[in-house]
Structure 1
Amino acid sequence: MADPLLDRDIAAAALAQVCAAAGPYVEALAERPVHDPAAAGSLAGIGGPLPEEGTGTTAAVDRLLAIGTATATASSGPRFFHFVTGGTTPAALAGDWTAALLDQNAFARVSSPFAHEVETVVLGWLRELFGLPAGWGGALVGSATFANFTSLGCATQWWGERHGADTVRDGLSGLPRMAVLSGGYVHASARKALQMLGHGRDAVQVCARDDVGRVDLVGIERRLIALDGAPAVLIANAGEVNAGDFDPVDALAELAERYGAWLHVDGAFGLFAALSPRSAHLVRGIDRAHSIAADAHKWLNVPYESGFALIREPGRLGTAFGMPGAAYLPGPRDPGGGYGLHGPESSRRARSLPIWATLTAYGRQGHRAMVERHLDLAQHLARRIDEAPELQRLADVPLCIVCFRVAPPGVPDEDLDRWNRAVGEALIADGRVFCGTTVYGGRVALRPAIVNWRSTVADVDLFVDVVRELAARTRAEP
């Protein structure tokens, strides 16, 4: 194949190929299986040795679309209840395509005034969406893991200051281990962030009052007292991943203020409880935090990868993440600087565009309505489970996750974990709906999460029907 520069006239045709495939794929999401086991063999068409001679744009795009639309997990569809994965609203999808089309480097104002301005607007809108006071700032990042990393990076810089040290310049050498306290809901992504920051993933001292992980406030206060004025970081968890439960953010904020600690809120999906008066009480006190981490690719329903960190003192972002001097790059205080100096990534796509598009298209009220519809669907799912004699709900449903297991009367407890694991494996293999297993309070369970804008009562009912069908089948199998 000739130099790709000579193939440039075919760009519009290649985009037309994608557009032609997009319409049928998106229209089919409402009914298609999440995973089609029969299509798995098509994945072999992706491999092979690196081509010596290219096939050309048209053939390459045709092949990618044919294999991708057949084998991709329909995680943006309404029947994907695994993990906590949102879909992609039409406006957000178009915004993401626009981001790819314009291909902006959102490192700084000087690299893209457009991307910088959109990100500035979006961060302000996110602050307003969650009811945070004026003065908060933040950074758009690739995930809640990076949002936790960014937030805890600022906390580390603050903690170093309290010890009279400059951790940005000199690192952690010679300092005591940073005290990090949390209940048992602390997520693996927060531990990973601490691991990457050099504190170690086991830096978190867990204070839990039961095997589910509910926070022990008395235990946390006891640890704070024992520190005798030394700085500490508290992690409040807004939306636990197994049942959607919340730490009492307000009570943890009270402890943070009383003992001079940094309060970080991990609100990967639970932060969106703030959008509805029905659930806003769950995040009462977030305005008293020092930092908040969340995902937009969960309940905001924008494409992967999209997270954000919100910081009460945004000046700490430039201090913690500003880069060493380079003659051709703007510094943190340079008028040409920007958000690449406020977080872990320097080379950054314009991930603000799909957020801007969806917030502009549907506004505060549209996103509130989506959250409230999902609250209703979660309650409907809970009722369906309660009505099924062979299903057992394991927890209350404060938000959008319903934790339950297969547990017919008369089946010994020692057999239930094996059976529920078999049901989880069967769900993934079957592909009509998608949901995996977890362990909640020592028991293997399912924990479907409802955060996709397309999901309906019919999708929830299908999920229950499939679970019951597969439960009966796996029990009957030897």
Structure 2
Amino acid sequence: MSDPLYERDQAAAALEEVARAAGPYLGSLDDRPVHDHKADHLLDLLDHPFPERGEGTMDTVRRLLHVGTGAATHSSGPRFFHFIVGGSTPAAQAGDWTTTLLDQVGGLWLTSPFATRAETVVLGWLKELFGLPSSYGAVLTPSATFANLTGLACARQWWGERHGADVTADGLAGLPRMPVLAGGYLHPSSRKALQILGCGRDAARILAADEVGRVDLAAMDRALGEIDGPAVIVANAGEVNAGDFDPIDAMADLAERHGAWLHVDGAFGLFAALSPRLSHLVRGVERADSVTSDGHKWLNVPYESGFAFVREPELMARSFGAWGAAYLPAGDDPHVNYNMLGPESSRRARALPIWATLRAYGRQGHREMVERHHDLALRLGAVVEEADDLELLAPVRLAVVCFRYRPPGVGEEELDALNAWIGAELLADGRVYAGTTTYRGVTALRPAIFNWRTTESDVDLLVSVIREIIARRPI
């Protein structure tokens, strides 16, 4: 084969091939292991010399489906408890396929009024869902890391302007280091954003009250009082090891008292706002200067999806727009151009799966999902607490359960090695996936329940597999 022009009649047939594979694959997710290591040999089918002449559309699509449905890690299924990962609801998945089908240039109104209007609509819906003021500026991003980059770039621009500088135009040269303060829950994505922004990955001053990382508010108050000029505070709504929260309302008080910028990283924890029984965890988020979250976590839309919200919308344009390129819309364009409000210029229409899932299931459906996952986490936490040889290391706050195997008469060092072994065996087994972490200085398991498909039977299987592994533990 050569020029794809000669296979244009295969375009619909190729999509039909994927659609035919979708039914059996999606129908198998409830029963198949998260990863079947016996299928890893299929990966070799991806690797061959680069073809001089192509193999053709249909042969290539069939090869990709054969390898992917067999050898992929089935993280969109109900038993992937590793990291913090959702799946793709039926509506979101169809919305994502539609995104690929239409292949919109989503950054400018001129190139796609459809994609732009869809993004404007879903950002409004998301602000309503999370209880954020409708006046906030907002933009969709590929991830929480990019969302943090967006919010912290606006904070950097705000900070520079208070020093009489336009850092977007002129950079940071000649300015002092931007003070960034946080508790011990600061996530690597915020550090990465600070790294990219030239502020320094390790620039944040961590003010923790204990080994867990809870913020020391008194120390933060003193530190802010000692800083000559404005500062940035980062609060976390949802800590990844045990699901704990920074006291956002109290940190907003500090920000107001000291004239600081408050950035809230709510990658998954912001979804606590959906539930009356959990919303207290994010009390005060509506007072933040920038707020971020992730769609491919608890919203259960496909990768890649993040959200950034900024109190002063004009800061977004000052941080990311005004390129001065004659072929692009000017800053006074009456239409919104989202590539001038965030870090991306080339953008797919990532609003479509978000629009689809929000419209399909509404506020009530997403609230029920959040509360169902919280109930499942509480169920797992209760199993741990009732067992003589398991130890719950932190209260279940949201949907992460942090615990370890702790049989009597075993020393701490051996316990760490034993729990690391259990974690490795879980991944090798493949039926369920749950990773390990270090929490309060010890090695722990931390299954996270965020997939829309997950039910009690999946959580019970996790416990059962852990019990099987423990039964064959090395003596």
TM-score between both structures, scaled by the size of structure 2: 0.99
Measured after TM superposition, the shift of residue 387 of structure 1 is 2.0
d(CA) in 2 for partners of 1:294 and 1:337?
A: 21
Counterpart in the other structure of 2:321: 322
Question: Cα distance, 1:390 vs. partner?
Answer: 1.9
Q: CA deviation at 1:55?
A: 1.0
Q: Is the 8 A contact 1:110 1:337 kept in 2?
A: no
User: What code does the residue aligned with 1:237 have?
Assistant: N
Deviation per residue, 1:274-318 (Å, 9 max, x gap): 000010000000010000011010000000000010111111111
Residue 46 (structure 2) aligns with: 46
Alpha-carbon distance, 1:417 to partner: 0.7
Amino acid at match of 1:396: P
For 2:470, the equivalent position in structure 1 comes to 471
Task: Report the 3-state secondary structure (helix = DSSP H, G, I; strand = E; otherwise coil) of the residue aligned with 1:360.
Answer: helix
Output the amino acid matched with 1:117: R
User: Which residue in 2 is equivalent to 1:264?
Assistant: 263
2:437 matches 1:438 = yes
Task: Please report how far the alpha carbon of residue 323 of structure 1 lies from its aligned counterpart in structure 2 after TM superposition.
Answer: 4.6
The answer (yes or no) to whether the contact 1:374–1:450 under 8 Å persists in 2 is: yes
User: Given that residues 159 and 230 in structure 2 are in contact (C-alpha distance below 8 angstroms), is that contact kept between their aligned partners in structure 1?
Assistant: yes
String of CA shifts for 1:229-284, please: whole Å, max 9, x gaps.
x1000001000000000000000000000000000000000000000001000000
User: Distance in 1 between the 2:24 and 2:165 partners?
Assistant: 58
SS at match of 2:138: strand
SS at match of 1:10: helix
Superposed CA deviations along residues 123-169 of structure 1, whole A, max 9, x for unmatched, are 10000001112201211000000000000000000000111111111
* Alpha-carbon distance between aligned partners in 2 of 1:470 and 1:192, rounded to the nearest angstrom: 36
Deviation, 1:41, is: 0.8
Q: In 2, Cα distance between the equivalents of 1:435 and 1:72?
A: 17
Deviation at 1:2, TM superposition (A): 3.3
Please give the secondary structure, in 1, of the residue aligned with 2:425. Answer: helix
Q: Is the 8 A contact 1:124 1:137 kept in 2?
A: no
1:471–1:332: structure 2 CA closer, same or farther, 3 Å change rule? farther
Q: Distance in 2 between matches of 1:239 and 1:23?
A: 35
CA offsets, 1:365-393, max 9 Å, x none? Answer: 00000001001000001011112222111
Give the distance between the partners of 2:303 and 2:69, measured in 1 at CA. Answer: 17
Q: CA deviation at 1:216?
A: 0.2
Q: Distance in 1 between matches of 2:298 and 2:322?
A: 32
* 1:361 and 2:355 are equivalent in the alignment: no
| Partner secondary structure for residue 472 of structure 2 | helix
Mapped to 2, the partners of 1:216 and 1:275 lie a distance apart of 28
In the alignment, residue 343 of structure 2 is paired with which amino acid? P
Matches within 5 A, 1:103-252: 103-228=103-228, 230-252=229-251
| Superposition deviation, residue 324 in structure 1 | 1.7
Contact 2:116/2:336 (<8 A) preserved:
no
Separation of aligned partners in 1, 2:334 and 2:72 = 43
Unaligned ranges ≥5, structure 1: none
Offset at residue 474 of structure 1 (A): 3.0
Q: Secondary structure at the match of 1:202?
A: coil
Structure 2 residue 82 is the aligned partner of structure 1 residue 87: no
Residue correspondence of structure 1 range 356-395 to structure 2 within 5 A: 356-395=355-394
Matched residues in 2 for 1:333 and 1:30: separation? 51
Deviations 1:399-431 (A, max 9, x none): 000000111111111101111111111111110
Describe how 1:397-416 pairs up with structure 2 within 5 A.
397-416=396-415
What secondary structure sits across from 2:309 in the alignment?
strand
What is the CA–CA distance in structure 2 between the aligned matches of 1:398 and 1:4, rounded to whole Å?
53
| 1:346-357 paired onto structure 2 within 5 Å | 346-357=345-356
1:275 matches 2:278: no
Matched letter for residue 415 of structure 2? L
Question: Are 2:292 and 2:308, in contact at CA under 8 Å, matched by a contact in 1?
Answer: yes
Query: Which secondary structure does the structure 2 equivalent of 1:264 belong to?
Result: strand
- Report the 3-state secondary structure (helix = DSSP H, G, I; strand = E; otherwise coil) of the residue aligned with 1:385: helix
Q: Which residue of 1 aligns with 2:341?
A: 342
Question: 2: distance between equivalents of 1:433 and 1:388?
Answer: 20
Name the Cα RMSD after superposition: 0.9
1:337, distance to aligned residue in structure 2 (A):
5.1
Cα offset for 1:472? 2.6
Residue equivalent to 1:75: 75
After alignment, is 184-193 or 462-471 more displaced?
462-471
Partner Cα distance (1:237, 1:147) in 2: 14
For 1:445, what is the secondary structure of its paired residue? strand
What is the SS of the residue equivalent to 1:100?
helix
Q: Distance in 2 between matches of 1:205 and 1:135?
A: 31
Partner of 1:26: 26
For 1:89 and 1:428, how far apart are their aligned partners in 2?
A: 25
Name the CA distance, whole Å, in 2 between partners of 1:78 and 1:99: 25
Alpha-carbon distance in structure 2 between the residues aligned to 1:78 and 1:291: 32
Distance 1:394 1:220 in 2: 26
Matched residue SS, 1:138: strand
Structure 1 residues 272-281 or 219-228, which shifts more?
219-228
Q: Match of 1:25, SS? A: helix
The runs of at least 4 aligned residues of structure 1 exceeding 4 Å deviation read: none
CA–CA separation in structure 1 for the residues paired with 2:350 and 2:123: 12
Which segment drifts farther, 326-335 or 80-89? 326-335
CA contact 2:108–2:337 (8 Å) conserved in 1: yes
Gaps in structure 2 of 5+ consecutive residues: none
